[in-house]
Amino acid sequence: MSLTMMALRISAIQALKAANTLVGDSVLDSQISVFDQTADGALSTKAERPFIAVYTDSAKSKELEHSGMRANGAVEMLFNCGVSMTMTQTDKDTGAAYILQELPATDANFEAVLDVLEVQIGRALSDPDSEWAQVFGGFVKSYEGKECVRSSSAAENVRLAAAQTKLTVDVFPDPIYGQELSDMSPWRRLLDLMERDALPQLELFRSLLGDADPATAFDYERLTGMTVQTADDLRLGGFEGVARTDELTEVESSEDRA
């Protein structure tokens, strides 16, 4: 996992909560046991209301030349949705069972809820008026793929319908520790929104991003992940704390005697 993958997950969750989807605030962060499988292979869940559970599942990058170990490449995000008979409410007068927004608890309406949630996930993550959605999009270079699958369980009184949307996004590398963040950086906007909304992960992100030192340029080793020996062999040298704002004023010629 990576810092960017955690940022993607948090910003997606906050965007979904702000979007007023059918599940409201029931958006879960990496809930490991949200779905269980019974001995006969059927699905079950202990969730008490319809939900969306968000995960960053995997990442794969083949281009490490310029970013080294900071690379993320293609990240797979999973959005698992579920609704079951155990989440319904019963009308005291009629005895009828209802799910979200007073929909009768029928198989067709279970599927309808999943369909609507898939639409709402896409809209929430691309909403131009949502600050959290814009932060999410700021980490994404391109959208590479989308896949939707569903499953269900038909056990009496525990009927459950579930769907999974897998979104593959090509994202930027993690920032360098101590990198200066511009006001337009998604990292700066992420920190500002986390502080505004009092998210508990704020201090963790601040510590992992480090304090910026705008006066010092980063060594090749830190930028690309290459070893000191490789940098020396390539005669790249080190900046050794030279300020990025320094100007080259004089050049001395030298003879390579190697």
- Specify the pLDDT at position 119: 95
pLDDT in tens, 87-102: 777 777 777 777 766 6
β pairing state of 73-84 and 51-60: antiparallel
Average pLDDT along the chain? 81
Per-residue pLDDT at 69 exceeds 90: no
Q: Are 154 and 43 in contact (CB under 8 A)?
A: no
Task: Work out the widest C-alpha separation in the chain, in whole angstroms.
Answer: 96
Q: pLDDT band at residue 234, thresholds of 50, 70 and 90?
A: low
Say what the pTM is.
0.77
In eight-state DSSP terms, residue 173 is P
In eight-state DSSP terms, residue 253 is -
Cα dihedral 6, 165, 72, 217 in deg (nearest 10): -50
Domain 3-209 = CATH 3.30.70.1700: yes
Higher pLDDT pick, 141 / 177: 141
pLDDT in tens, 187-216: 999 999 999 999 999 999 999 999 886 655
Where exactly are the structural domains of the chain?
3-209, 214-247
Residues present in the chain in total? 258
Query: CA 31, CA 96: separation in Å to the nearest integer?
Result: 31
Question: CB atoms < 10 A from the CB of 52, how many?
Answer: 27
Query: CA 113, CA 23: separation in Å to the nearest integer?
Result: 9
Q: Are 53 and 36 in contact (CB under 8 A)?
A: no
Q: Are 64 and 225 in contact (CB under 8 A)?
A: yes
Higher pLDDT pick, 233 / 1: 1
Listed residue (58, 54, 1) closest to 23, CA to CA: 54
